[in-house]
Amino acid sequence: MTNGLQNVDGLILNMEGGNLTIENCIFDNVVTEGNGGAFYLINDPAKTRQATFKILHSSFSNMNASTFGGVIYLENFNLTIENSSFGNYKCPFKL
C-alpha cells in the first residue's frame, strides 16, 4: 500500500479477533484520522480466547495516525514481528 488516506481507524481493521498474518508487504506513506496508521486490531477475549497477529518480512515507513499507534493499534492480541522494519512513523499520543 502506498500513498493511502483512511478517514477512520487503521488501514486494516479487525474487531473480531482471530489470526492475521502480514507477510512480504510494503506499507509506505499511509495516513489515518484515528488510531493505528496501518492496523487497528481489537480482540474481545470473551468471544475469541486467543488472537494472534504476525508481521513477517515486511516494511512500514512514513506512517501517521492522528491519535494512538503510529503503525499499529492493538488490544488483546499476541503480536509477533520477524525480519521487518519500521521507520518515520508519527502519532501525537504515546502510551
Between 88 and 24, where is the model more confident? 24
The pLDDT of residue 56 is above 90: yes
| Model pLDDT for residues 3-32, shown as the tens digit of each residue | 555 555 666 666 677 888 999 999 888 877
Domain ranges of the chain: 2-90
Pairing verdict, β 12-14 and 39-42: parallel
> Residue by residue, what is the 3-state secondary structure of the chain?
CEEEEECCCCCEEECCCCEEEEECCEEEEEEECCCCCCEEEECCCCCCCCCEEEEECCEEEEEEECCCCCCEEEECCEEEEECCEEEEEECCCCC
